[in-house]
Amino acid sequence: MALPSSPTPSRISLSGLYLVNFFLGEIIGVGVPFLTDYLKYHHWSFQEIGIATAMIGVGTVIFQGFSGVIAEVIPRHRLLMGVVILLYGASFSLLPLDVDSHALTNSFLLISGMASSFFAPLSATLAFSLSGHQLFARTMGRTQMWNHAGFLVSAMGTIFLIHHVGLWSGFVPIGLGSILAGGSIFLISQKDLIYHKMADSPLTDPSSNSEMDTIEDNRTLWNVFTDFFRDPSIRILLISTTLFQIANAPVMPLLLLYLRFLDGGNGKLGWVVFIAQAVMIPTAWWAAKYSAKWGHKIIFSIAFFVMPIRALICSFSMNTDILLASQILDGVAAGIYGVSVALIVADLTRGKKGFNMLMGLSMIAMALGSVIGPILQGISVGRVGFRFSFLVFGVVSSIAAILFFHYMPHEIRNSFGQDKRTEEPDLSKEAQIKH
């Protein structure tokens, strides 16, 4: 099957991709915070609420690795994305029918976690299929911008609805957003999804002349999976991102508690989320633009080193304005992370099978962080207080930064298919004569 020489996705298909990511941000952004208040209103105990919200994380952890494998096996990524989006929306929308049934509610939340585990891998796959390696950075940057914008709109809209209509109305943005996201899938034309074919064509980037990118990969998925862990670059990526998320996931909730402890006021608490998400939008654009110029490792390293700085500020300052300002660093780190992970995964799997599978594995780091991080938070805050807890997460994030920067090769291929390992050294005539 011949592939065109350069990616030419239509504007309608790209608009569909961006809208899907906007509505994904919209339905995910309000889920857990709203759910906690809703269950408390219906007389659930704090322990029961903790178990219920944990079911989302359990479903994500269980299915996160499988999501990449399923995406490798099933080439109809549009259909798969539409199904999991509607499944997520239905799981939340059906909750009010019998909220007093703990078993039913926990089952719905488990299903929602399973469905959400597909969002990031499939979003990156659709972006890659539309753009190819050459335009992947730009497309990923824009999808992340739309995703963070959806989160902001969702947060503001849900607060407005709950205040003026009632607590039950918080389910409306989730249900409506899932329907709109599922409908936006149809804007993506199948004929524009010309890259990353999985069944009947070589895994190749036709815009590249590199011989390495035109090799057909006939390995089984099991061999692909085991080969991942033989590659030192992939091992470092998975280990460092897991530590990154363990340090990152609990810091925002911990900061909310700390601000409340310092009597920061409810108005300032709302700014914690708003500042971070607002900063993520331009950061995602910047990360995508400069990754091609500076290299993916350099850009991603910025996210790693920003995290311990943020933790140190929270540990040593009791000024609520400074603590709020530290959320700018959270926005920088998270904005880069969403773009850079997908770009590095694309580089590490270039010309081979496994893009979806490795994306799924890399997302396990985020799921593990949402489980392990809060456990560390609870232990450290309960025993030694807020400021030492921030130090703990600062140490963890420092280890992640050092591991990634020291051990991840600088020769990660950039978005244009160049591989620095294969470049000939630029020797001057004098050097060549001496040689």
359/106 Cα distance (integer angstroms) = 27
At 265 the pLDDT is 56
**Side chain identity at residue 139, one-letter code:** T
Just give the CATH number of 10-192: 1.20.1250.20
Mean pLDDT of the chain: 81
Domain with CATH 1.20.1250.20 in the chain: 10-192, 219-411
3-class secondary-structure state, position 1: coil
CA-to-CA distance for 104 and 112, rounded, in angstroms?
A: 12
Instruction: Tell me what pLDDT residue 127 has.
Output: 92
pLDDT confidence of residue 201: 36
pLDDT at 184: 95
pLDDT, tens digit (0-9, with 9 covering 90-100), for 54-75: 788 788 888 887 888 888 888 8
**pLDDT of the residue at 134:** 80
- What's the Cα-to-Cα distance from 193 to each of 71, 126, 196, rounded to whole Å? 14, 7, 8
Q: Residue ranges of the chain with pLDDT lower than 50?
A: 1-5, 196-215, 414-435
pLDDT the model gives residue 67 = 86
- Is residue 77 within 8 A of residue 129, CB to CB? The reply is yes
Q: pLDDT value at position 202?
A: 35
For residue 185, give the DSSP letter: G
219-411 belongs to CATH 1.20.1250.20: yes
Considering only the C-alpha atoms of the chain, give the largest distance between any 2 of them, rounded to a whole number of Å.
Answer: 83
Closest by CA to 224, choosing from 68, 367, 419, 1, is: 68
